[in-house]
Structure 1
């Protein structure tokens, strides 16, 4: 599932996975590394997502003695929760259609 805003993917599976990685690793750079993605690409995706929202999904602290980091806001947590819930419900409700699509995929 993707949400398109002004011709841009405001929210989709990649951004949700990146949010989960930020939650797990505590920084955009570590999240990017865990996904084999450049820091710049990850930062641009998070910036794009945050600009599309009424309130940001992540907050970042600048480096210092402790090195800074990023974390999900309550909005970011809610995005992950809602998105994964929609995925699970869709997989259940659409199981016959998904099975039919899988049969069309070359093995």
Structure 2
């Protein structure tokens, strides 16, 4: 099964780690348009080398690698995934009952398929 339709991805500072890797991969491969009020958190690294147990059964992992692009530039870490469309936060959108970010993404997708 291969989906070839339009895709919108919503990011925020709550989008961390795998969320950022997913959004970045879709954006960089021209498979999705990214929307957000702000960039993602910028906390993306390789922590797949194991978990360590500290005293009092505290579990810890730390990054052991940094993802880079084809030019060697560190991606995402410290910068986040930058939305293609930044939707401003207004008093109305912050206090209102509607999700301005989702509405903007839906509008953009509908415009593309018309």
TM-score, normalised via structure 2 length: 0.27
Higher relative contact order, chain-length normalized (CA < 8 Å, sep 6+): 2
* Larger Cα-atom Rg: 2
Q: TM-score, normalised by structure 1?
A: 0.28
Q: If each structure's helix is expressed as a fraction of its own residues, which one has the higher value? A: 1
